[in-house]
Amino acid sequence: MNDLFLRAARGEKTERIPVWLMRQAGRTLPGYKKLREKYGVLELAQTPELAAQVSSEPIERLGVDAAILFADIMLLPLALGVKLEIVDSIGPVIESPLENKADIERLLPFKKNQVQYLGETIRLLRSQLEVPVIGFSGAPFTLASYLIEGKPTRDWARTKQFMFDQPENWDLLMRTLSDAVIEYLSSQIQAGAQAVQLFYSWVGCLAPATYRKQVLPHVQRIFSALKERKVPRIHFGTDTGAMLEDFADVDCEVIGVDWRIELSKAREIVGKKTLQGNLDPSVLLCDWGVVEKKVDEMLENLGNRKGYIFNLGHGVNPKTDDSQIKRLVDYVHAQ
């Protein structure tokens, strides 16, 4: 097996820099696009043979060093009884957004048999691939934001209002979601996932003090609960530069960062943890000369490459040419 990613995640020295990219499974690749002509995102994610096909395409086509499970962060809310749909050009739309304690108490306890299809997808991938398989979950704040806002937002006003106006109910919601995330990720590890990533899309919208008080304790509990599973745990969030010291204050092996902070500064803050990131995805839309220059600058700024995993600072832009991604992977490997 190609175990570069796992060794780097544990802080070990590797012969070359391991590469995987967030949202590498889907979006830009031709096999995924063809499947999307026939199937919706949730249908793909809930059909193991198809989800395994999408998850493995980047390994075959791009040569990355790890496979990320093709799934959607809304699969966990679905398992909790939330009614929703994925609307093209919008994203997840919740039928009845949460407003109070009674709404939270109507959420169902998580049971792993509700996501058996993910376990089957992971088992298929483990039998087919020679690179590690990464499982993932949306983090409690991100999930809570969707459940309260009812759809993607640019200001998170309803979420923050709920957090500040109803602190006890907010804490109840975060505990409920954290319990579910622990079981959700544990079920993926039990099925064979060799690493897991907790994914924050929006936590950077919070003031550091708010994050520290009303989010971080729940995240710490998740990572502590997963420690006994003995697989690398990745903590990733966007726009976390202002709170990175707190963001990194969890018991995990890897901290992922976006492009808004230099890798040398991030390394200084996260200490001995492995660092993952952080090329701006928009760079891949540029001419190759620009890509090469930006990668060179990034790696020069990083310095010591031990305990480092190359990734983008967020997901692959849907407009990216997959030949450009392949060229990027090969270029980083050559370093």
Q: What is the pLDDT of residues 59-109, one digit of tens each?
A: 999 999 999 999 999 999 999 999 999 988 888 999 999 999 999 999 999
Of 3, 32, 65, 72, the active-site residue reads 72
Of 3, 27, 61, 267, the active-site residue reads 27
Give the residues of the chain that fall short of pLDDT 70.
none
The pTM of this model reads: 0.96
Of 32, 146, 184, 308, the active-site residue reads 146
What is the C-alpha to C-alpha distance for residues 30 and 45, in angstroms, rounded to an integer? 17
Please indicate whether residue 154 is annotated as part of the active site.
no
Please indicate whether residue 23 is annotated as part of the active site.
yes
Structural domain boundaries in the chain: 4-334
Distances (CA, A) of 97 to 62, 189, 193, 199: 39, 30, 32, 21
What is the C-alpha to C-alpha distance for residues 207 and 243, in angstroms, rounded to an integer? 8
- pLDDT at position 89 is 82
- pLDDT at position 181 is 98
- pLDDT at position 230 is 94
CA 114, 46, 79: angle at the middle one, nearest 5? Answer: 30
Of 7, 16, 36, 305, the active-site residue reads 36
Of 23, 61, 233, 267, the active-site residue reads 23
> Could you tell me the fold of the domain covering 4-334?
TIM Barrel (3.20.20)
Please indicate whether residue 146 is annotated as part of the active site.
yes
- pLDDT at position 115 is 97
Residue from 57, 177, 54, 51 nearest 117 by CA: 51
What is the C-alpha to C-alpha distance for residues 4 and 112, in angstroms, rounded to an integer? 30
